[in-house]
Structure 1
Amino acid sequence: MSKTQVLLVGAAGETGGSIANGLLSDGRFDVIALVRPASIHKPAIQRLSDNGIQIRKCDLKAPEEHLIEALSEIDVVISCVGPAEQQDQIPLAKAAKKAGVKRFIPCGFITVSPPGGVMWLRDEKEIVYNQIRQLWLPYTIVDVGWWYQLSYPRLPSGRVDYAMTSGNDEIIGDGNMPTALTDLRDIGRYMAMIISDPRTLNKKILAYNLVSTQNQIYQLMEELAEEKVDRNYVPEETICSRVVAARQASETYPFDPIKFIPRYLAEYQYSWGIRGDNNPEYAKYLGYHLTTELYPEFQPTDFREYLESVIRGTAKGVYTDRVISRKHQRHFPRTESSDSPIHSHFPADRVQRIPHVAMI
């Protein structure tokens, strides 16, 4: 039986890497990475090739005929582009329609929220979704819970710093808002099932492992580490003020994209921490199908076991090439990568405190 041909955009990123690993491990797919010609010699791309992923060169801004050629004999397209590149997917979707692609997975992979002014990042994605529907292109939209890898607090001893991007020292509101959680590594495993399932065609899917609150996560972390973690509760008024300030500062986008990063970070906190959008019950109300109901046999990575691995020192961090704030640089000494999105958007003299890093 021939394998499904999957073209993956953004295969070198965190989400893209998880999807590549999940599809390759499944064994039913040939994975082809679409790579900008300028990036073809980067070490990350070489690693993809070494892992058995085919490489096709093409820029998303290339002429349509080049995109159609890059999509030759492709069954499924999965896009994992960056936040500022969402609308670059529209030409790719148009080319996919003409090339006869059977399923197009636009870059979702964020927490649940409604469109229309709650999260700018959500609204940018919805523009792409609407274009796909207007094309009558077969699609699946997949969103995920807040990553395990970004959910836990720093320990006073510093022994989990190696796996952290920021100190993650804020509890939003009263800390009791339930939110869906997903292990980053499980996203690829979910995708292997979702893109093979006719029930998910032209549907929205929430792929998540469990529901928890920040207070419960702090309590579990303290229990496993046998350390007391300080609680820094940030009230709703402060979160809302951050959102307003970030929105006002971002009015010059796209000419000054540095101002948009604080906006979508603040809006993440507002959405899942204050509004409570990132909840499976609300997702079903919005029309999502849940992986817990579609695939009851699936065994997700256990959250407790993941935290135990973090404390033991055997977990792998995410975005470890990014310096998020001056406040935490002393806790997270790293060498700044020249191609890190945070480094490129936040020059050394303009870095300000950013509470959390975004997933996409």
Structure 2
Amino acid sequence: MSKTNVLLVGAAGETGGSIANGLLEDGSFEIFALVRPISVLKPAIVRLQERGVNVRKCDLKAPEEQLIEALADIDVVISCVGPAEQQDQIPLAKAAKKTGVKRFIPCGFITVAPPGGVMWLRDEKEVVYNQIRQLWLPYTIVDVGWWYQLSYPRLPSGRVDYAMTSGNDEIIGDGTMPTALTDLRDIGRFMALIIKDPRTLNKKVLAYSLVSTQNEIYSLMEEIGEETIDRNYVSEETICSRVLAARQASETYPFDPIKFIPRYLAEYQYSWGIRGDNNPEYARYLGYYLTTELYPEFKASDFREYLESVIRGTAKGVYQDRVVSRKHQRHFPRTESSDSLYTRIFPRTESSDSLMSR
């Protein structure tokens, strides 16, 4: 049986890497990575090639004829670009329409939220989704809930600092809001099922493993780690004030991408922590299919087992730049890693470095 040709954009990132792993593990796909010419020799790209991933050199901002050439014989496009690059997908989608791509999966892969003023990042993605629909291009939109890898709090002993990206020392509201969780490592396994499934064509899918609350996660972490964790509850009023301030700052400095970092973080907290958007029931209301219903046989990575691996010191952290709250920043020295939480999304500038070093 011939394999499905998949072009993966952003294959060296965290989500893209998970998808590459999942498709390679499945074995039903011929995988191509769309890579900027200047990035071909990066270690992450070389490692993908060593595992059998083919590289096609092209920039998303290249002329249409080059994008069309890069899409030759491609059945499925999966995009995992950074937040600041969302609308760069539109020329690729237009080229995909002209080349007859059978399914275009734009860069979703965030928590569930409605369009129209709740999260700026969601609204940027919706612009792309609407362009795809106007093209009458076959698509699937996939969101994934909140990663296991970002969901747990820091232990006072510092034992889990090695795997953390932030201090994660705040509980939003009263900590009882349920939110969908997904192991980053499972995203690629979900994608292998989704892109083979005719039911998901021209649909939205929430790929998640379980639903939990912050209070439940803290209690589980305390049980496994045998340490007491301070519970710093942050009120709805405080979160709403942060959102307002972050929005005002980002609109005052529209050409400085670093200004959007506080906005992303505040709007995420407001959406899943206060509004409760990242919930399978709300996702169903918004028209999503749920992977728990589509693939009941899917064995997701166990959350407790993942936390146990974190505490044992055997888990792999996400992102290499340990930028955290001031309180814990001494535990996570900054590096010049190109795959960090911030530098992967926002190019470093003089203004951004000065902000981050304060």
TM-score range, shorter chain: over 0.9
Q: What displacement does 1:223 show?
A: 0.5
1:100 paired with 2:119, answer no
1:349 alignment partner AA: S
Match of 2:259 in 1: 259
Contact 1:325 1:351 in 2 (8 A): no
- Secondary structure of 2:342's counterpart equals helix
Structure 1 residues 16-25 or 257-266, which shifts more?
257-266
Structure 1 residues 322-331 or 103-112, which shifts more?
322-331
**Percent identity over paired residues:** 84
Q: How does 1:342-353 map to 2 (within 5 A)?
A: 342-343=342-343, 344=348, 347-351=352-356
Tell me, in whole angstroms, the C-alpha distance in 1 between the residues paired with 2:338 and 2:190: 32
Q: What displacement does 1:39 show?
A: 1.0
2:117 alignment partner AA: G
Contact 1:163 1:320 in 2 (8 A): no
Q: What displacement does 1:40 show?
A: 1.2
Tell me, in whole angstroms, the C-alpha distance in 1 between the residues paired with 2:116 and 2:262: 19
1:215 paired with 2:215, answer yes
Match of 2:112 in 1: 112
- Secondary structure of 2:278's counterpart equals coil
Q: What displacement does 1:145 show?
A: 1.2
Match of 2:18 in 1: 18
Tell me, in whole angstroms, the C-alpha distance in 1 between the residues paired with 2:153 and 2:245: 26
Tell me, in whole angstroms, the C-alpha distance in 2 between the residues paired with 1:253 and 1:203: 36
Tell me, in whole angstroms, the C-alpha distance in 2 between the residues paired with 1:220 and 1:185: 21
Match of 1:28 in 2: 28
Q: What displacement does 1:349 show?
A: 2.6
Match of 1:190 in 2: 190
Contact 1:10 1:81 in 2 (8 A): yes
Tell me, in whole angstroms, the C-alpha distance in 1 between the residues paired with 2:306 and 2:214: 16
Contact 2:320 2:341 in 1 (8 A): no
1:127 paired with 2:127, answer yes
Provide, for residues 267-318 of structure 1, a one-character-per-residue CA deviation record: whole Å limited to 9, x for no partner. Answer: 0000000000000000000000000000000000000111011011110000
1:114 alignment partner AA: P
Tell me, in whole angstroms, the C-alpha distance in 1 between the residues paired with 2:137 and 2:213: 37
Tell me, in whole angstroms, the C-alpha distance in 1 between the residues paired with 2:49 and 2:241: 46
Match of 1:276 in 2: 276
Provide, for residues 74-98 of structure 1, a one-character-per-residue CA deviation record: whole Å limited to 9, x for no partner. Answer: 0000000000000000000000000
TM-score, structure 1 as length reference: 0.95
List gaps (5 residues or longer) in structure 2. Answer: none
1:44 alignment partner AA: A
Tell me, in whole angstroms, the C-alpha distance in 2 between the residues paired with 1:197 and 1:83: 27
- Secondary structure of 1:217's counterpart equals helix
Provide, for residues 160-180 of structure 1, a one-character-per-residue CA deviation record: whole Å limited to 9, x for no partner. Answer: 111001110000000000000
List gaps (5 residues or longer) in structure 1. Answer: 354-360
Tell me, in whole angstroms, the C-alpha distance in 1 between the residues paired with 2:116 and 2:255: 23
Identify if the C-alpha distance between structure 1 residues 254 and 59 changes in structure 2 by more than 3 Å, giving closer, same or farther.
Answer: farther
Identify if the C-alpha distance between structure 1 residues 10 and 322 changes in structure 2 by more than 3 Å, giving closer, same or farther.
Answer: farther
- Secondary structure of 1:153's counterpart equals coil
Tell me, in whole angstroms, the C-alpha distance in 2 between the residues paired with 1:325 and 1:83: 21
Identify if the C-alpha distance between structure 1 residues 22 and 14 changes in structure 2 by more than 3 Å, giving closer, same or farther.
Answer: same
TM-score, structure 2 as length reference: 0.96
Tell me, in whole angstroms, the C-alpha distance in 2 between the residues paired with 1:224 and 1:324: 23
Tell me, in whole angstroms, the C-alpha distance in 1 between the residues paired with 2:325 and 2:238: 19
Tell me, in whole angstroms, the C-alpha distance in 1 between the residues paired with 2:84 and 2:244: 20
Tell me, in whole angstroms, the C-alpha distance in 2 between the residues paired with 1:68 and 1:62: 10
Structure 1 residues 326-335 or 144-153, which shifts more?
326-335
Match of 1:56 in 2: 56
Contact 2:67 2:92 in 1 (8 A): yes
Provide, for residues 213-267 of structure 1, a one-character-per-residue CA deviation record: whole Å limited to 9, x for no partner. Answer: 0000000000011110010111001100000000000114541111111111110
Number of residue pairs aligned between Structure 1 and Structure 2: 353
Match of 1:321 in 2: 321
Q: What displacement does 1:329 show?
A: 2.1
